Amino acid sequence: MTTNNGAGLARRHEFVLYFDVANGNPNGDPDAGNLPRLDPETNQGLVSDVALKRKVRNYVAMARPEAPGHEIYMRDGATLNNEHKRAWAAVLPDVTKADELKKLPKDEAKARELTRWMCANFWDIRAFGAVMGTSVNAGQVRGPVQLAFARSVEPILPLEISITRLAATTEADAEAKGGRTMGRKHIVPYGLYRAHGFVSAPLASHPVKGTGFSDADLGLLFEALTNMFEHDRSAARGEMATRRLVVFRHASALGNARAQDLFARVKTWRRFKGERHSPGDDRLDNAPPARGFDDYEITIDRDGLPDGIEIIEH
């Protein structure tokens, strides 16, 4: 894995990500006492874009700890050892020299150089962009990768589980409560979530605005989306797993079809008594709630695929 100097992604991509949770809380709502996030109008569960991006970053930090150009800017303090030293000179020997040669660089050119350098070294800036604290416009980069909120296929029912602890935090608690304290956990018994993502090739490959996000970076993004929950185990999450990742690859940078039409080709069905129904179908009214991935089916309509569109499954 080397840094990608120059060759940014040349083709637009969209993807549909399915992941599920069993007996866990995929994303707590700070406004509701850490209850799983809910759409108040439909009771469908939500997972924010930033929650998913956090997991992608954590995965990349873990999977490529020593790879040049794969540092993570927005670090999770608990998981990343930020003391590892690296031979930057070996990666970018010319950058510092070029900088020294320019005695009085123009402000904008300097800012652009800084941005370039940050993009070359930090995987998450290349993918998601970053805001650099400078008044020059070039200090702000938009990354090509854009994620939307994930939403559960059917309404979810969060459960509140009370738990006890046999020890107290303070002595006062120990005396008053006899050394026992109680806590609460919120879980979703089962939920299948669907998220949409976009990768805009011009924001990767444009000579000025491009971050240099490459095909190899895209491969790592999909690797991260597929495996991120495997390394995000915790008491709160329960069992989470990526179930399906469907990628639409366009033949050109600007794209060959409308995103909404491509997304509509991926359908989720609810299985009941050997038949499949659309979620929300009347005939499901008396069906028991879904408690596993087997209760769902995902289909991809490949008929009459527009020219220049390729479907890749992970």
| Least separation in angstroms between CB 175 and other proteins | 33
Helix (H) or strand (E) holding 15: strand 13-24
Where b means 16+ CB within 10 Å and e means fewer, 84-114 reads: eeeeeeeebeebeeeeeeeeeeeeeebbbbb
| Nearest to other proteins of 200, 214 (CB atom) | 200
Residue (142 or 243) nearer to other proteins, CB = 142
Of the candidates 48, 33, 31, the residue with the CA atom closest to the CA atom of residue 186: 33
How many CA atoms does the CB half-sphere of 155 hold within 13 Å? 11
Q: Considering the complex, what minimum distance in angstroms separates the CB of residue 174 from other proteins?
A: 29
CA dihedral sign of residues 201, 222, 57, 153: positive
Closer by beta carbon to other proteins, 258 or else 283: 258
Q: Tell me how far apart the alpha carbons of residues 243 and 190 are, in angstroms, rounded to a whole number.
A: 13
Task: Return the structure tokens found at 222.
Answer: 């999909």
Which is closer to other proteins, CB of 252 or CB of 278? 252
Choice between 198 and 293, CB closer to other proteins? 198
Nearer to other proteins, 39 or 173 (CB): 39
Q: How would you class 157 by CB atoms within 10 Å of its CB: exposed for 0-12, middle for 13-18, buried for 19 or more?
A: middle
**Which one-letter amino acid corresponds to residue 284?**
L
Least distance to other proteins from the beta carbon of 91, Å? 9
Give the list of residues 6+ apart from residue 213 with CB closer than 8 angstroms, or none: 4, 8, 9, 126, 127, 143, 144, 145, 199, 203, 204
Closest contact distance (angstroms) between CB of 74 and other proteins is: 6
Q: Shortest gap between Cβ of 220 and other proteins (angstroms)?
A: 18
Minimal distance, residue 148 CB to other proteins, in Å: 5
Whole-number Å distance between alpha carbons of 307 and 262: 12
DSSP state of 30: G
Q: Output the smallest distance, CB 143 to other proteins, in A.
A: 9
Please, are residues 115 and 139 in contact by the beta-carbon 8 Å criterion? yes
Which CB sits closer to other proteins, 189 or 279? 279
Nearer to other proteins, 100 or 294 (CB): 100
Angle at 97 between CA 96 and CA 98, to 5 degrees: 95
Three-state SS at 7: coil
Contact residues: other proteins, CB under 8 A: 29-31, 37, 39-41, 48-50, 71-78, 80, 82-83, 85-86, 88-89, 92, 95-96, 99-100, 110-111, 113-114, 117-118, 121, 130-134, 139, 142, 144, 146-149, 151, 196, 198, 200, 202-203, 252, 254-261
Q: Least CB distance from residue 207 to other proteins, whole Å?
A: 13
User: Looking at beta carbons only, is 98 or 176 nearer to other proteins?
Assistant: 98
Is the Cβ–Cβ distance between 256 and 267 less than 8 Å? no
**Shortest distance in whole angstroms from residue 176 CB to other proteins:** 30
